[in-house]
Amino acid sequence: MRSELMQMLESRKEEMIEIRRYLHENPELSFKEEKTAKYIADFYKGKDVEVETNVGNGYGIIVTITGGKPGKTIGLRADFDALPITEEADVPFKSKNEGVMHACGHDAHTAYLLVLADCLIQLKAELNGTIKIIHQHAEEVPPGGAKSIVESGKLDDLDAIFGIHILPMDPAGIVGYRSGYAFNGRSFFKLKIQGTGGHGSSPHKANDSIVAGAHFVTVVQTIISRRLNPMDAGVVTIGSFDGKGTFNVIKDSVELEGDIRYMSTESQQVIEKEFKRIVKGLEVEFGVTCTLEYTADYPPLYNDPEHTELVAESLKNANDKDIKAVREYPALSPSEDFAYYLEKIPGSYFFIGCTPKGVEQPYFNHHPKFDIDEDAILVAAKAVGHVVCGYFEKN
């Protein structure tokens, strides 16, 4: 089956590219992917599979491919939302939706998985198990789509789950993997510091919220430098400090917003505890009133070591001309809601190089000039195909 699957994928490389370009021209934002979801669902019309639409808190789609022989059930996931970015990439298939762009490669993710799924459908008589294809909406915007799909219960029967992300860290043909914690978790905060306004000449008759806010910006960084284990990773970023007023007026309140990242649930707990302690201390020290909104968006992504080893071995032993090397990657600082699947289901999320040919310093995901080597789409399809075959061969 493996050899036949790879031949089928190779013969449909141009189709994958065409699908990717269509999706690239017609991007839709998270939770608004109605036309994209219809395009995906229409792809499966007339095929011998079960298709469920509107799964979770949006336009999620689950396609169930039941094999001809009994066995385990695995999931394969690709996301399909785009970003609120005005495209600057010089390509003939630029976004037709002003201010919206597939700047993270989800168009390529969807293209590879559609064709791979169709090939697996044609070969399903040879499958000793079941495959659930998960086309996920809204990865980019918390609370995301993954959590709600997991909570729907429609994946409760999965024994394993796999997914990929294209990244311009290597050229097409290079596949990366990471065992254990691989992506940061992420939290969001919004803090309002309420003081008492007054005349700039009379600070003793006021309570300056800007001074309290400035102190907070500095002291909150001690969470990372003095409270977090130095062997762990963490970031507290103050992304917004809204304290604009008039030069001779003491501001009565300020609002701060920020982004918090961590590479383990233990670090997440330490940072949140210390953050809230500092906010309480601010009230005591400066006599202000603080209103804090603190939301844990996505958990750290943890790749199960056993399933990650299966990924690495399946690809290293593939002897595939399109997969030129398989490398261990470092942990990465972005966040990814695939982490919600991996909290409940053992599996692995791995990486496909996509640096455009001849480019030494590529634009990374989320940049308005982000572009890929479209050879990476076939590499993604074959890599996941090899993992599927390797899993069922072992199970």
pLDDT digits (tens, 9 = 90+) for 89-121: 999 999 999 999 999 999 999 999 999 999 999
Name the catalytic one among 28, 81, 304, 374. Answer: 81
| CA dihedral angle for residue 11, residue 13, residue 16, residue 22, rounded to 10 degrees | -120
Coil, strand, or helix at residue 301?
strand
| CA dihedral angle for residue 272, residue 273, residue 277, residue 279, rounded to 10 degrees | 10
* Known catalytic membership, residue 79: no
Would you say 87 and 368 are in contact if contact means Cβ atoms under 8 Å apart? yes
Residues 8 and 155 in one domain: yes
Q: Which residues does the annotation place in the binding site for Mn(2+)?
A: 104, 106, 140, 165, 366
Boundary (domain end) residue, out of 265, 297, 329? 297
Position 379 scores a pLDDT of 98
Boundary (domain end) residue, out of 297, 322, 342? 297
Burial of 135 (0-12, 13-18, 19+ CB in 10 A): buried
Q: Which domain holds residue 327?
A: 1-182+301-394
Q: What share of the chain has pLDDT > 90, as a percent?
A: 100
Residues 35 and 175 in one domain: yes
Average pLDDT over residues 222-228: 97
- The crossing angle, in degrees rounded to 10, of helices 375-394 and 305-316 is 110
- Tokens representing 95? 């976004």
Residues 242 and 328 in one domain: no
Residues 75 and 217 in one domain: no
Q: Which residues pair with 190 in a beta bridge?
A: 257, 293
Q: Which residues does the annotation place in the binding site?
A: 104, 106, 140, 165, 366
Position 281 scores a pLDDT of 98
Residues 234 and 357 in one domain: no
Tell me how far apart the alpha carbons of residues 136 and 52 are, in angstroms, rounded to a whole number: 12
Residues 252 and 384 in one domain: no
Residues 171 and 312 in one domain: yes
Residues 292 and 326 in one domain: no
Residues 207 and 59 in one domain: no
Position 44 scores a pLDDT of 98
Q: What is the pLDDT of residues 309-338, one digit of tens each?
A: 999 999 999 999 999 999 999 999 999 999
Q: How confident is the model at residue 242 (pLDDT cuts 50, 70, 90)?
A: very high
Position 51 scores a pLDDT of 98
Position 10 scores a pLDDT of 98
Q: What is the pLDDT of residues 374-390, one digit of tens each?
A: 999 999 999 999 999 99
Residues 199 and 261 in one domain: yes
Coil, strand, or helix at residue 96?
coil
Spatial neighbors of 293 by CB under 8 A, at least 6 apart, are 188, 189, 190, 191
Residues 99 and 167 in one domain: yes
Tell me how far apart the alpha carbons of residues 240 and 257 are, in angstroms, rounded to a whole number: 5
Average pLDDT over residues 256-272: 96
- What is the CATH number for 194? 3.30.70.360
Domain count, the chain: 2
Residues 216 and 162 in one domain: no
Position 189 scores a pLDDT of 98
Mean pLDDT value across the chain: 97
Boundary (domain end) residue, out of 276, 297, 318? 297
Name the catalytic one among 33, 139, 337, 374. Answer: 139
Spatial neighbors of 166 by CB under 8 A, at least 6 apart, are 105, 108, 109, 351, 352, 353, 354, 372, 376, 380
Position 45 scores a pLDDT of 97
Position 121 scores a pLDDT of 98
Tell me how far apart the alpha carbons of residues 279 and 218 are, in angstroms, rounded to a whole number: 12
* Known catalytic membership, residue 28: no
Structural element, H or E, at residue 385? helix 375-394
Position 133 scores a pLDDT of 98
Which residue type occupies 364? F
Q: How confident is the model at residue 284 (pLDDT cuts 50, 70, 90)?
A: very high
- What is the CATH number for 63? 3.40.630.10
Q: What share of the chain has pLDDT > 70, as a percent?
A: 100
Q: What is the pLDDT of residues 154-171, one digit of tens each?
A: 999 999 999 999 999 999
